[in-house]
């Protein structure tokens, strides 16, 4: 399949979970190059051993603006462009409001919200120079509806949706063809959700119309659609991939 043919793609948090599925999907769809960025060198090294020629791993922390600047300059030098950015890196530090530590609030905001801002600011400069691009932000059902114990996470994922709407408007000015969309997954089987206690998961699944958790690949399929030219008239959209979850 050739749905990403000729495209230079960047996926943050690409070493495992949903990010890794997105990297694999873009690679299978014959992207020119997929950069899998992650701060976890060990999982990136594992990915490196299995990756086809059109995937390259890169250690990068989305909270470090200097690292992002250097990365984008390198890609610009070699390829002259970035066609697709997927802002996928994200973390959780859950606690009820009364028990949430200030540092847990700060770090989640820094990675999930400011990290998306950091990446998009640098990458969109290059997209604007080329007059085109597609950005897909990974939000969450929690950003749309809230969730007990996730004040910090819900704030970031709601923020990602408002940034998506804002950038869809800002980045399409002056003739630029830059589309910005978001995917809001429900509960997906990844290392992130392995931490959730069995009882809580059972309760979650009981509220899913399809009565199961989602797979990373099912999120990657939605991201692929929005990132590709098949979605050429879709921008400022939030696509739910949640099996019909009623929280």
Instruction: Give residues in contact with ligand NDP (CB under 6 A).
Output: 12-13, 15-19, 38-40, 43, 61-63, 88-91, 111, 115, 138, 140, 185, 187-188, 190-193
- Closer by beta carbon to ligand NDP, 16 or else 25: 16
CB of 191 to ligand NDP, least distance (A): 4
- Closer by beta carbon to ligand NDP, 172 or else 240: 240
CB of 156 to ligand NDP, least distance (A): 8
- Closer by beta carbon to ligand NDP, 6 or else 63: 63
- Closer by beta carbon to ligand NDP, 133 or else 243: 243
Query: Apex CA 69: angle with CA 122 and CA 48, to 5°?
Result: 105
CB of 30 to ligand NDP, least distance (A): 23
- Closer by beta carbon to ligand NDP, 90 or else 243: 90
Q: Which residue has the tokens 């309760």?
A: 203
Give Cα 10 to chain centroid, integer Å: 10
Q: Which of 26, 153, 167, 187 is catalytic?
A: 153
CB of 236 to ligand NDP, least distance (A): 19
Q: Which residue has the tokens 């769809």?
A: 29
Which own/partner contact pairs does 73-82 have at CB distance under 8 Å and 24+ positions apart? 75/8, 75/10, 75/35, 75/126, 76/126, 79/8, 79/32, 79/33, 80/130, 81/8, 81/126, 81/127, 81/130, 82/8, 82/9, 82/10, 82/123, 82/126, 82/127, 82/133
CB of 19 to ligand NDP, least distance (A): 5
User: 192-223 as b/e, with b when 16 or more CB fall inside 10 Å?
Assistant: bbeeeeeeeeeebbeebeeeebbebebbbebb
Is there a catalytic annotation at residue 165?
Answer: no
Task: Write out the catalytic residue numbers.
Answer: 153
């Amino acid at each position: 399949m050739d749905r990403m043919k000729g495209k230079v793609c960047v996926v943050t948090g690409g070493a495992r979970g949903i990010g890794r599925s997105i990297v694999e999907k873009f690679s299978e769809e014959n992207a020119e190059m997929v950069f899998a960025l992650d701060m976890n060198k060990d999982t990136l090294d594992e990915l490196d051993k299995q990756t086809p020629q059109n995937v390259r791993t890169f250690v990068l922390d989305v909270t470090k603006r200097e690292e992002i600047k250097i990365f984008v300059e390198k890609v610009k030098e070699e390829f002259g462009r970035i066609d697709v950015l997927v802002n996928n890196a994200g973390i959780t530090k859950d606690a009820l409001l009364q028990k949430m530590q200030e540092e847990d609030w700060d770090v989640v905001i820094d990675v999930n919200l400011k990290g998306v801002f950091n990446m998009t600011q640098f990458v969109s400069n290059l997209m604007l120079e080329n007059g085109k691009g597609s950005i897909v932000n990974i939000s969450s059902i929690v950003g749309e509806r809230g969730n007990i114990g996730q004040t910090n996470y819900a704030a970031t994922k709601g923020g990602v949706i408002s940034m998506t709407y804002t950038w869809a408007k800002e980045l399409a000015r002056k003739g630029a063809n830059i589309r910005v969309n978001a995917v809001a997954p429900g509960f997906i089987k990844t290392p992130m959700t392995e931490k959730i206690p069995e009882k809580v998961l059972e309760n979650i699944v009981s509220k899913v119309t399809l009565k199961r958790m989602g797979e990373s690949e099912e999120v990657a399929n939605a991201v692929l659609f929005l990132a590709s030219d098949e979605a050429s008239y879709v921008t400022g959209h939030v696509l739910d991939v949640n099996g019909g979850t009623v929280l």
